[in-house]
Every structure is written in C-alpha cells, then in structure tokens.
Chains A and B, each alone.
Chain A
Amino acid sequence: MKRLAAAFAAALLCASGGAAVPVAGPDQALIDGDKMPRKLSEFGLFVSGGAALQAGVVPYELHTPLFSDYADKARAIWLPAGTKAEVGGDGTVAFPVGTVLIKSFSWSGQGGGKPVETRLLIHRKDGWTALPYVWDADGRDATLAIGGRRVPVSFTEPDGTPQAISYAVPNKNQCKECHAEAGAIIPIGPKGRNLVFAPQWQAFRSGRFTWPANRIAPLPRWDDPKSGSVAERARAYLDVNCAHCHNPKGSASNSGLFLRWTDDPTGVNYGIGKRPTAAGRGSGGMEFAIKPGDPDHSFLIYRLESLDPGIAMPELGRGAVHKEGAALLRQWIADMPEAKKN
C-alpha cells in the first residue's frame, strides 16, 4: 500500500512534466545545518506525502516508554551514513552528529490513526535541537509549530473510558524542559538499558551500535510482571517518566527529589519521608512525597493523578491521567513496609 502510494506520487510528478525525481533520502546537509524548515517533508525522513519512513530510517521501541496521554508513539532513528552510536558503560548513548531521533504521536481513535504530531531531536554540531511538527489535516505533511499548539484529540482509554482532551504540542522551549541536562538538550528515551532490539532491529544494532564489554541489564517493562517485581517496574516507570527532570542536573534539580534508576530507592531523596519544598498545592495537604504503606497520603501519587496545572506531574505533556501507571505506583507504595516510615 505504501509502495503503491509512492509510485502514484512519482507518477503524478512525471505527469506534471517535471523531471523524474530520484527517491530522496534524508537531507543530511539540512539535518546538519542550522535551519528550522517549515515543513517536515524537507528533511526527507519520510516518504513523500505521508508518515511512512524513508529507507534507512529505522524504527525502534523502548522497554518502558514515557506516558503521553495514551498516545501511540512511533519511534525511529536516522544515523548518518558511515557513523555508529556508541553505548557507554552507564547505558547512555553517544549519538553521532547528524543523528535524528523521530517520534510520531497518534491515537487509533483519532483521524484514522494518522499521526497528529512528529517531534524531531536533531544532533547538530552545537548540540541537540528539538523541533515539533504538527501534521496538516490531509496527513500529507507536517508544519513546524515552534510556539507549541493545542489540538483536540479523542480516544478510548485501555479501560474503555472515552476521552476527549486538549492535547498540548510542546513549544520548542518546552521540549528542552524535559530534555535538558545542565542546560543542554539530550535525548531521554534511547538509553542502552531501555532500547528494545526486536529481530528486525538486530542487524541495525550490530551494524550501527557499539556496546560496552559489560552487559547492560535491560530496564523492566513497567507493565510486564515477568520483567520485574512491582518495585522494579515502579522504579523503571519513575526513571522514564520522571527522572529526566528529577535528577541533580535536570529541570527539577532544586526539588531534591531524584528518581533515576540508579538512585538509592530507600533514601529521602527518592521521596520516602520527604516533605514538600516547592510543591505548593502539589502537596495536596500531605506531609510526604511517599508515605510507605499509604499511597493515599503520598503526594507523589496525588500529583500523578491530577490534571490541574498547579498540581499535575509531569508539568508538561500530560492532559490525561495514566491510570495504569498510577495503579502500579500505588501498589508499590502500598507494599512498602510501614516500618520504613520516617
């Protein structure tokens, strides 16, 4: 079907009298430059006229993904010809200049499942650049929305609840709020321990990624009990959904709440017995971020289950409550022995 569409598009071009257009791949010069093209198609990452990936742009998945309003996310990566990404011993990936990380957001109940938004994270010489594109109504191309946008979106939650939300496409600065480490933009999701190498990825992995000698244990899948205990899956969830801000170099550094996979989960800086500091209304009248054995009096849960902008966490990119994620964290806190209580 995709191939057919491409052939049709090519035929149209010929019919219009233009010279035969070669199947353009990603435009590396544009990727490497400093432009912010108005149209997503200019990068050549997608087959012209839709959201099908261009040859050489490889889809990937994550063990535990970031929740974004129940969106289906299609992730893909472009590595420039002849380059390799190097996975470090701590699981971080050194992507070469010229890399593009691509993430498209869609909902099956929305516009026939066509993507609503595509975000690019481009590794340029002077660092990573984040660009948000909103797909045009005809689904043939997407337009830069540098100031962000709100898009009405309808979908059905996994438990059957119909939802209509005002989906927030982040502005360029908001991309940075989550993706910043010590003020510079970095990728969040594709870490060595979180990348899934499905069979179709295997060749790409071996050819384009170099791995450290010591094996990196994969992050548990938050929703797969076979992949880890409740506590392990809860911590994987917190790592992916929270730790990009809640780390000593992230946007929430001043909170003193650090939720990385590598942080000590028994410490006060992990939230157990931690009193609110700049939480404002986010404390919900509770004394502790995490009160062992008592999720109803743990304001970490309160903030995850709220949609009020003065309370909700994360602050950006969440217009719906992730009921299943919150349920996992509730169970984790409920299971904690109260003896650990501060």
Chain B
Amino acid sequence: MRIHGLSRTAYLTFAAAALVAAPASAKTISVSADTPDANEKLQEALIMAVSGDVVELGAGTWKLTDGLSLDVANVTIRGAGTDANGSILDFSDQQGAGEGLLVTSDDVLLTNFAVLNTKGDGIKSKGADRIVYHELRVEWTAGPKETNGAYGIYPVESTDVLIDSVFVRGASDAGIYVGQSKNIVVRDSFAIENVAGIEIENSYDADVHDNIAMRNTGGILVFDLPSLPMQGGHNVRVFDNIVKDNSTPNFAPKGNIVASVPTGTGVLVMANNNVEIFDNAFEDNGTANIMIVGYRYPYKDDKYQPLPRQIFVRDNAHGRAGFAPGFPGGAEMAAAMGGSIPPILWDGSGNAIVNDDVGVLSLNLPDVQTPQSEAKPSPVDLKDSAPAALPGIKLPASMEAKVQ
C-alpha cells in the first residue's frame, strides 16, 4: 500500500487556514441522558438549535423509543465518545421512524457518538449537502442478523459527503451506503460483519480509501441500478483499502440486490463507468478479491446502462482468494482449476483493464441477457495500457476543517 497521507496533510493545512470564525451568536446546547423524557429533550434541542450551534451529548446512554431528526443547517452534534463510556444513542426499544437519526439540512457535522440497534437505518442524511460523518459508531451489537436494520451510515441525494473514521457493524444491507450523491470521500473507516461493508450506489465522483472492510459478505461495492432518479454512476476510485476475509454468509433479506452478493467478495463493481481499483491489500476473500459484472435482472428503463465500462485495476496486493466461490457452479469451477479460481472474476460484459499480476477468470457472458447457467469460464488476459487517471476528490475546505 502506498501512503497518501502526505498530500492530505498539506491540503488540510490550507483548509485550516481558510477556517472562518464561528458566528458570535453560536452556542453550545448540552443535553444529558440522565433526565426524565431524555428522548423528547434531545429532540427539542435538535429542533431549537440555530445555525452555528453545537448540540453536545453528554456521556451516557439514551434509551430512545423514536427516531431523532435534525433539520437546521450548520449544526454540530458532538458526543463524548463512541465506546461504552461515551455518548450512546440506544434504539433497542425503538417504536417508530425508519432510522435512528435523520439529517435533512446542509453543513452538518456529526461526531464522536454511537448509534446502536436501530430497527431501520442507523444514521440517514437526505439532501444534506456538505455533511461530515466523523468518529461515529453505528452498530447492531448482536452481530450479523437478518433482523438488523439496512444501512448503518446512509447519506443520499447529497453533494459533498465526507465519512471519516467511522465504525459500522451488523448492517443487513450496507454498513456505509452512499446513494445518489456527488463528490464523496469515505476514508479511515472500519466496516465489519455487514452484508456490504461500503457501498457507493448510483453516485458520481467518489474516493473510497484507507478503509478496512473485513468479515462482511462483500467488502466494497460500486453499483448502478435502474429506475432511480439519479443513475449513470461513474468516477469512483477505490484505493489503499484493506479488504480481507469477507466471509460472513449473506444475511440480507431476500429480494434486495445485495442479497445476491456472493459470500467471499472483496470489491464488486456492477454496471458502473470509470472505476479505478488500485493499491489495495486483498486477502482471504473466498469468492474473489475483485469482481466486475453487469446488471443481470430484467429492467424497464431506457436510460439505464447495465454494463461495467472503463474499469481499471492496478497495483493491488493479492493474498489468498477464490478458494470458496459463493455462486452457483463456483465450487465445480474451483475443483476443475485445482481448488481455487483466480482472484479476479469478470462476467465478460462491458470492458475492463486489469494490470495486476494475478489471474482473471471470465465467465464469458458478454450480454446481460444470457443466464449465468450458460457461463463458459476461461482465463483471460485483460492487461492493457493505463487510461488517464481519474482526478481525486476535493471537498470544500470548510468540511476538511471540521475534522481537524
């Protein structure tokens, strides 16, 4: 793995210099878990906050029955830590709302608290531009279960999204899920025992780097799906991540696309354009370290493009892979190939360049209508000259300043 920290540090120095002083009226609203009606008090604080305010969660555990929401721009929710002694928003007894915390305003910083055992999603932000998720824990504490909520951290329909130093575990869909958004950074985070560790879906311009995705069903997913308002996902870079031992049996509710992700998948690209996967460390992913496929379901959407295109793979470190392919016919393929299939799997649709020095197995299913049962697997060489590098994501300086 290369270390990219240096350039980031230089950028942050610049960002900090650009930091503007907070408005004089800004105040800190402290809330304690130890008061009667703590649920209502905390929600009131989130409603009464004005731009510039910090809502400060004291250390302690809130037993919450209803979802919380923030709809005021430029507010920070800051806790006293993410561990057992920190600020814990416990939704084990949740009776209402589709998520634990919902943010619908711009320029919000969420930092240093934990959201546990929500019935639906953990923290969702919708139409919340320049949101920063920083030092958070979203966890279903009993580990992988089909009855866990779908997404841990779930920004959607937003421009400028930063997810930095978060821990997510147990999501029955994706631990970190960024959907229908633009200009995204997911970094320095830890996704464990989710169906999908980190998923970038129907989104443009994302950097996913320096994360650890382990013991999920699939580590990092880059998807584009039909019939959604924003599609045509493109320009995603996945680099410097550790993607390891993604071996948890798929526990997603059936019907969801993610329920079709084979156990043992490292990085999975489906129907996206311009994706770069480089400098990652892969190990112990039983199906494949990297899988590149088309969208193979019927759809009614003339605008949808189901093939993966301009996918570029280079300079990754590959440990053991392909020893337990989790798709129909996979075991037979592995047996025929001496016990394991190559670490990179391509369904044969669209196009990709793979310059890693490992084997690539093509299923030779060039059009997405051909059923997988007609796969004719054969090794394939996808080496080619490197395309122009995708530009890195730059977030507004105001966002970087918040995590310093």
Chain A residues in the interface with B (C-beta under 8 A): 145-150, 166, 168, 171-174, 176-177, 180, 183, 248, 251, 253-256, 267-269, 273-288, 299, 308-311, 315-316, 319, 342
B215-243 near A? 1/0 per residue, CB < 8 Å: 00000000001011110000000000000
In Å, the complex CA distance between A281 and B254 comes to: 9
Inter-chain contacts of A308 with B (CB < 8 A): 119
Per-residue CB proximity of B136-172 to A under 8 Å, as 1/0? 0000000000110111001011000000000000001
| Distance in Å: Cβ of A295 to nearest Cβ of chain B | 15
Residues of A within 8 A of B46 (CB): 173
Q: What is the bound-complex CA distance between A274 and B95, given in angstroms? A: 28
Chain B interface helix/strand/loop/mixed: loop
Task: Indicate if the CB atoms of A256 and B94 lie closer than 8 Å.
Answer: no
Q: Is B227's CB under 8 angstroms from A310's CB? A: no
- Contacts of B255 on A, CB cut-off 8 Å? 275-276, 279, 283-288, 299
A278 touches B43 (CB 8 A): no
CB-CB < 8 A to B47: which residues of A? 146-147, 171-173
User: B348 an interface residue at 8 Å Cβ cutoff?
Assistant: no
A342 to B39, CA, bound (A): 44
List which B284-301 residues lie within 8 A (CB) of chain A. 297-301
Q: Find out whether the CB atom of A309 lies under 8 angstroms from the CB atom of B180.
A: no
Q: Are A254 and B95 in contact (CB under 8 A)?
A: no
Other-chain residue from B43, B94, B102, B256 in contact with A148 (beta carbon distance below 8 A)? B43
CB distance from B67 to the nearest CB of A (A): 8
Q: A176-B71, A286-B254 are in contact. Are A256 and B298 (CB under 8 A)?
A: no
User: A145 to nearest B CB, angstroms?
Assistant: 8
The residue from B39, B44, B227, B257 contacting A274, defined by CB atoms under 8 A apart: B227
A183 touches B96 (CB 8 A): no
Query: Apart from A254-B156, A276-B255, what 10 extra A-B contacts exist at CB < 8 Å?
Result: A145-B40, A173-B46, A254-B180, A268-B227, A276-B256, A278-B156, A280-B149, A281-B172, A283-B254, A309-B119
Q: How far is the CA of A281 from the CA of B146 in the complex (A)?
A: 8
Q: How far is the CA of A146 from the CA of B44 in the complex (A)?
A: 6
In-complex Cβ contact of B97 among A253, A285, A299, A309 (8 A) = A309
Query: What would 21 A/B residue contacts be, using CB atoms closer than 8 Å?
Result: A150-B65, A166-B65, A168-B95, A171-B40, A171-B44, A174-B69, A177-B69, A254-B180, A256-B227, A268-B300, A277-B225, A278-B177, A280-B253, A281-B120, A283-B253, A283-B254, A285-B253, A286-B255, A310-B119, A310-B149, A315-B98
- Map CB proximity to A onto B183-199 as digits: 1 under 8 Å, 0 otherwise: 00000000000000000
- Chain A residues, Cβ within 8 Å of B149: 280-281, 310
- Rounded to whole angstroms, the CA-CA distance of A148 and B43 in the bound complex is 8
A281 pairs with B150, CB closer than 8 A: yes
Asked, given contacts A275-B255, A299-B255, whether A280 binds B151 with beta carbons under 8 Å apart, the answer is yes
How many Å lie between the Cα of A285 and that of B48 in the bound state? 40
Contacts of A311 in B (CB 8 A): 120
Contact for B172 among A171, A274, A280, A316, CB less than 8 A = A280
Instruction: Answer whether residue B276 sits at the interface, using C-beta atoms and an 8 A cutoff.
Output: no
Q: Are B66 and A148 in contact (CB under 8 A)?
A: yes
In chain B, residues 310-326, which have Cβ atoms closer than 8 Å to a Cβ of chain A? none
> B153: shortest Cβ distance to chain A, in Å?
13
User: Please, which residues of chain B bring their CB within 8 A of the CB of A253?
Assistant: 157, 229
Q: Using Cβ atoms and an 8 Å threshold, which residues of chain B touch A176?
A: 71, 104
User: Does B359 interact with chain A (Cβ within 8 Å)?
Assistant: no
Q: Is the CB of A319 within 8 A of B95?
A: yes
Which residues of chain A have C-beta atoms less than 8 A from B256's C-beta?
A: 276, 279-280, 283
Q: Which residues of A contact B56 (CB under 8 A)?
A: none
Choice from B71, B146, B228 contacting A277 with Cβ under 8 Å:
B228
Q: Which residues of A contact B150 (CB under 8 A)?
A: 278-282, 310
Give bound CA distance, A319 to B70, whole Å.
23
**CB proximity of A174 to chain B, nearest CB, Å:** 7
Q: How far is the CA of A256 from the CA of B120 in the complex (A)?
A: 19
Decide if B121 is an interface residue (CB 8 Å cutoff).
yes
B96 touches A147 (CB 8 A): no
Measured in the bound complex, the distance between the Cα atoms of B43 and A299 in whole Å is 31
Residues on A with C-beta less than 8 A from B69 are 171, 173-174, 177
Smallest CB–CB gap between B109 and chain A, Å? 18
Q: Does B366 contact A (CB under 8 A)?
A: no
Minimum distance in angstroms from A259 CB to a CB of chain B: 14
- Does B98 contact A310, Cβ atoms closer than 8 Å? yes
CB-CB under 8 A from B102, the residues of chain A are 173, 177
Within 8 A of A (CB), among B102-122: 102, 104, 118-121
C-alpha gap A308/B95 in the complex (Å):
7
Answer whether residue B41 sits at the interface, using C-beta atoms and an 8 A cutoff: yes
Residue B127 lies at the interface, judged by CB distance under 8 Å to chain A = yes
A71 to B: closest C-beta gap in Å: 15
Contacts of B229 in A (CB 8 A): 248, 253-254, 256
Chain B min CB distance to A260 (Å): 15
Report which residue of B147, B173, B253 has the largest number of chain A beta carbons within 10 angstroms of its beta carbon. B253
Specify which of B40, B70, B230 is in contact with A147 (CB 8 Å cutoff). Answer: B40
Interface residues of B in 22-63 (CB under 8 A from A): 39-44, 46-48
CB contact under 8 A between A147 and B127, given known A268-B227, A280-B151: no
Q: B66 to chain A: which residues have CB within 8 Å?
A: 148, 150, 168, 171
What distance in Å separates the Cβ of B126 from its nearest Cβ neighbour in chain A?
7
A147 to B48, CA, bound (A): 9
Interface status of B342 (Cβ within 8 A of chain A): no
Contacts of B126 in A (CB 8 A): 251, 254
Q: Nearest-CB distance from A224 to chain B (Å)?
A: 30
Chain B residue contacts of A146, Cβ below 8 A:
43-44, 47-48
Cα(A275)–Cα(B227), bound, Å: 9
Q: Which single residue of chain A is at the shortest CB-CB distance from B98? A: A315
B297/A281 in contact, CB under 8 A:
no
Q: Does B179 sit at the interface, judged by CB under 8 A?
A: yes
B127 & A183 in contact (Cβ 8 Å cutoff): yes
Q: Which residues of B contact A280 (CB under 8 A)?
A: 120-121, 149-151, 172-173, 253, 256
A259 to B51, CA, bound (A): 35
**Chain A nearest CB, measured from B159 CB (Å):** 14
Are the C-beta atoms of B98 and A254 separated by less than 8 Å? no
7 closest pairs, A vs B, by CB? Answer: A280-B150, A285-B254, A283-B255, A147-B43, A315-B98, A147-B44, A310-B119
Q: A147-B44, A174-B69, A281-B146 are in contact. Are A315 and B97 (CB under 8 A)?
A: yes
Report A242 CB to chain B, min CB distance, Å. 14
* Contact in complex: B257, A275 (CB < 8 Å): yes
Q: How far is the CA of A276 from the CA of B66 in the complex (A)?
A: 25
Given A173-B71, A285-B255; A149-B173 close (CB under 8 Å): no
